[in-house]
Amino acid sequence: MGKIIVVTTVIGIVLAILGERIIHLRKRVWASREIEQNHLPSCHLIKGIEYGSEDITILPSGLAFISSGLKYPQTPSFAPDSPGKIFILDLEDQKPRPTELRISRGFDVDSFNPHGISTYIDKEDDTVYLFVVNHPQFRSTVEIFRFVEEDFSLTHLKTVQHELLHNVNDIVALGPESFYATNDHYFTQHLLRSLETLFCLAWCNVVYYSPREVKEVASGFYMANGINISPDKKYVYVSDILDSAVHVMEMNQNYTLTPIKAIHVGTLIDNIEVDPETGDLWGGCHPNGWKLFNYNPEDLPGSEVIQIKNIHSEEPIVTQVYADNGSVIQGSSVATVYKGKLLIGTVFHKALYCDLEQSIKM
């Protein structure tokens, strides 16, 4: 009888703890939030992108790289059992259409599972390097390609693997072979990853990689996600999606990062893109993470885009630019601008093209 009481008590305590943790997690991911429509008048879905556009980055020439087809733990995916793709979109065209980039022989295309992306342009010869976070068999690698514009192809140069790069989400290139990367979990095993999220353990980090040195340069994030750099290369921005915050960090000469401040934005900000002209930050966000992680076709996850102005001032301005309840676009993960054009990408759904200048006129 005594053993039954002990077992029952232990089970009750465990259930109580789990219940409290679930309630706490639901608050963190804005599970009760219902997004109000805030559409722009001049937008359309991009034909040819059907299974996600998780990250987008744009070259100064207007060529936009788009990663598509991501399959990742704890997030939905409706992509067929086929490799992921990198598309390119020329925003200088009046009616841009995505083109799939061909990848050179010798690279394992069959296991290609692209996530975050970043570019680096060599100042001496204008070579464009494309860095892609890849998850072959749900592991983490970073693939470095050279972009060949003449025939819209990618030449594979290098695969980077390291024990510190164990759950890579996003990346920002610093040189032809160097970068910062975010790890969005501490554990790699699925059950432990789930418990890490449930208990909101702030064990995620940012890692600096170069052929000469690999090291942790920032830590203490609940779920480090998007990462990018200021136009003057002095500051790094990291989104902590479970904290609904953007962390501003100063770059040091040894590539360590010094925390400056955190800006809470009231939504689950995913990837970060930086306007090279103004320094404004653009974020693709999840207004209700519970709907994203527990996908229900009857209660779709929405999308939200925010713009952060004057991020280094005492009072940054956070503005909601676009919002949708999932009827148009689901699970937005990135937003980026080029000459008055706005691209919105998603984890697993479609991609949206908006003409901001036309919207202002209307």
pLDDT tens digit sequence for 233-256: 999 999 999 999 999 999 999 999
As beta bridge partners, residue 158 has 144
Q: Are 39 and 328 in contact (CB under 8 A)?
A: yes
pLDDT in tens, 98-111: 999 999 999 999 99
pLDDT of residue 118: 98
Looking at residues 149-176, what average pLDDT do you find? 97
pLDDT of residue 28: 96
Chain centre to alpha carbon of residue 121: 21
As beta bridge partners, residue 258 has 250
pLDDT of residue 358: 67
- Is the pLDDT score of 6 beyond 70? no
Residue 144: both structure tokens together:
């470095």
pLDDT of residue 7: 65
- Is the pLDDT score of 346 beyond 70? yes
- Three-state secondary structure call for residue 291: helix
- 174 DSSP assignment: -
- Is the pLDDT score of 79 beyond 90? no
247 catalytic? Reply is no
Looking at residues 84-102, what average pLDDT do you find? 96
Residue 8: both structure tokens together:
């029952």
**From 115, 185, 247, 349, active-site residue:** 115
Binned at pLDDT 50, 70 and 90, residue 1 comes out as low
Q: How does strand 204-209 pair with strand 303-309?
A: unpaired
- Residue 252 CB neighbour total at 10 angstroms: 10
Q: What value does the mean pLDDT of the chain take?
A: 94
Q: Please, what's the largest Cα pairwise distance for the chain?
A: 79
Residue 293: both structure tokens together:
């992680």
Q: Which of 41, 46, 24 is nearest to 242 (CA)?
A: 24
CA-based end-to-end distance of the chain: 75
Residue 343: both structure tokens together:
């691209």
- Residue 87 CB neighbour total at 10 angstroms: 22
Rg (CA), the chain: 20
Strand order in the sheet with 85-90: 55-58, 63-68, 85-90, 99-100
CB-count exposure of residue 330 (10 Å: 0-12, 13-18, 19+): buried
Helices (H), 41-111: none
pLDDT in tens, 193-237: 999 999 999 999 999 999 999 999 999 999 999 999 999 999 999
- Is the pLDDT score of 55 beyond 60? yes
- pTM score of the predicted model: 0.95
CB-count exposure of residue 272 (10 Å: 0-12, 13-18, 19+): buried
